[in-house]
Amino acid sequence: MSLVVVGSVAYDGVETPYGRRERMLGGACTYVALAARYFTEVGIVAVVGEDFDRADQQFLEARGIDLTGLARAPGKTFFWSGVYSEDMNDRTTLRTDLNVFADFHPVLPASYRSCPYLFLGNIQPELQRLVRAQMHQPRLVGGDTMNYWIQSRRQELLSALAEWNVLLINDSEARMLSGERNLRRAADIIRRMGPRILVIKRGEYGAVLFADGDPFLAPGYPLENVCDPTGAGDCFAGGFIGYLAERGLAPEDASSEPQELRRAVVYGSVLGSFCCEQFGVDRFRTLTRAEIDARFQEFKALTAF
């Protein structure tokens, strides 16, 4: 196994202009792992409750995700619900019930500890730090967070961040974390907090990479039908980190292999776009690597001038 992913495995309730799902498989860890699995071997660290459906576990197993680090605890699985605006660029969180995540103390299986790649998906920053501390010298550590943690656990987050090489975050969160409106200046401030490689995601408008050289801008794929954007940011992260793992890249490559980082951003954008085509994780029930590579090529054509 080459990539360990920690984060929420959840049930989500989602309403978009296309419809509504009361309870479907979701969670940051789930989406990151599903997307990264197209590139590399993945194991997850998370906890679910007694209500976690056997069919959902079987789906993750069938995708070849290592579930040795998926604990089951008395209580309910993490639950999140949200409703999207008409244009789907904004969403309002209705509920965040940590449930079994509230007292989760992750213990990494021995088989995970020497993995070269670690991705700390969106969850309490203290849990992210605890998982990082159990790994033996990973080659590259990446992570994600959100407004919920920036506001409520800022100090914990700053200590976790200091040990990361890569941070993926969306634009409003980058402004909130840095206290700076201008994205370029915000990027400088955030990179001084720890992560040398920073990707600022801009929803349907794509993403900007800030590493050692000039910034790189990747558009969002112009989808004809966006059904449900839930998890798109996590799938972006999974595509990005999965590609770095597939290519065996390290943080030092930020200066020697800038093209590889750029390709990773485009794979991130590709995986995020597929995620939006159906509700929840449904697109990953049929998506193939060939479809992913075809859309990656399409990106080249769309941006060449």
Q: Does 8 bind ligand AMP (CB under 6 A)?
A: yes
Compose the 105-124 pattern: x for residues touching ligand AMP by CB under 6 A, - for all others.
Answer: -----------------xx-
Q: Does 28 bind ligand AMP (CB under 6 A)?
A: yes
Q: Does 56 bind ligand AMP (CB under 6 A)?
A: no
- What span, in angstroms and rounded, lies between the C-alpha atoms of 264 and 261? 5
Q: Give the nearest distance from C-beta 97 to ligand AMP in angstroms.
A: 10
Q: Are 75 and 49 in contact (CB under 8 A)?
A: yes
DSSP state of 77: -
Q: Name which of 109 and 203 has its Cβ closer to ligand AMP.
A: 203
**Where does this chain touch ligand AMP (CB under 6 A) — which range of 150-158, 212-220, 231-239, 253-261?**
231-239
Encoded tokens for 166? 């890569």
Q: Sign of the CA dihedral 31, 35, 37, 43?
A: negative
Q: Name which of 131 and 254 has its Cβ closer to ligand AMP.
A: 131
Q: Does 143 bind ligand AMP (CB under 6 A)?
A: no
Pairing of strands 19-26, 10-16: antiparallel
Quote the strand ranges of the chain, DSSP E: 3-6, 10-16, 19-26, 42-48, 66-72, 78-84, 91-97, 117-120, 140-144, 166-170, 197-201, 207-210, 216-218
Compose the 63-92 pattern: x for residues touching ligand AMP by CB under 6 A, - for all others.
Answer: -----------------x------------
- 3-class DSSP assignment, residue 137: coil
Binding ligand AMP by CB under 6 A: which of 2, 57, 68, 96?
96
For tokens 């969850």, what's the residue? 123
Pairing of strands 207-210, 216-218: antiparallel
Q: Does 228 bind ligand AMP (CB under 6 A)?
A: no
Number of CB atoms found within 10 A of residue 302's CB = 12
**Where does this chain touch ligand AMP (CB under 6 A) — which range of 8-16, 53-61, 181-189, 211-219?**
8-16
Q: Give the nearest distance from C-beta 101 to ligand AMP in angstroms.
A: 8
Q: Name which of 116 and 272 has its Cβ closer to ligand AMP.
A: 272
- List interacting residues with ligand AMP (CB under 6 A): 8, 10, 12, 26-28, 80, 96, 122-123, 146, 148, 230-234
